[in-house]
Structure 1
Amino acid sequence: MRYTADWYATDSRFDAMASRLDNPARILDFGAINTDTAVKLIARWPGCSAVVVGDEIDSLSSTRITAIPKRLTPSQIGKLGPFDVTLALSVLHHCVQWRNYLNVLRNSAPTLFIETAHPDEDLPNAKAHRHTADMITAVQAIGEPIASTAGYDPRFQRTLWLVQSS
């Protein structure tokens, strides 16, 4: 099942992201439900630190991870940077202002990884899920697919996209 400890241990998104990075110094993990992905990334690069933002995460921070356990607006996110890498993994379908978040995340770092839900997933608590097809179209216009994983609804695959600014 997605989001269990076993799932994170074998998370195929990690290798897809890590293989495209070259010693990042600062990572933003926006909309995280925990710090697991950030912990794995900073373990690979000793000089790397991460800011993890999510209204469900623990406020526990380490010397290399700053946890912000609340929901931030797009303008608040914009004030956290700059970053080398930004992660937005399965979060935009929860954001009513998803276009504003996408714009600020795209400008937060030269490398952005976005995971989009599948439009047919059953996600009754995702406030903007009805716009998922539009989200995919918007991300497809600026990025390239690099991996896919089972969705929260395991009948469907989610796409991981790489967006790089020039």
Structure 2
Amino acid sequence: MRAADAPPPGFYAPDPYSGRWPWIGVGLLAVVVCWYAWVWWSTRSRRIVIPPRIARDRLTRLRADYARQIDLVVARAEGGVITQRRAHQQVSVLVRHFVQEVSGIHAPTMTLTDLTNSGARLSPVSRVVGVLYPGEFAPRETETVAGAAVVAKEVVARWS
């Protein structure tokens, strides 16, 4: 080797990258793409599928059962066993679960906006939930559970 071809003293060629770094980069990119795909898929709006109606005798039993449970919640609130706020929450849960059990609509997981935007079928439920919301979320407790329970029982009695 001639002196002109020799590297200068103290010069070292750079080390090549390890073969695993490109694969780590590809893996991280795949994780990010999968994350965005999962977020998009899990938060997209879904159509509400209304299943066929239930048998009349079962509907009658469900109506009686849920009306009795609403009366029980009101009695517990009036007796001081539970707070008015808790009673409003329980009546809301009962109405929503009744709708789910009768029609198959996932009303327990729907917000008031979802119920309102779902059309005429759920408008009675959205009215009840709208009456119950101030009692559930107001800064101070209100003494309106008896009136809200009457509206809730009307929806339970008329829902088909």
Q: Bin the TM-score by the shorter chain.
A: under 0.3
More strand per residue:
1
**RCO greater where, 1 or 2, for CA within 8 Å and sep 6 or more?**
2
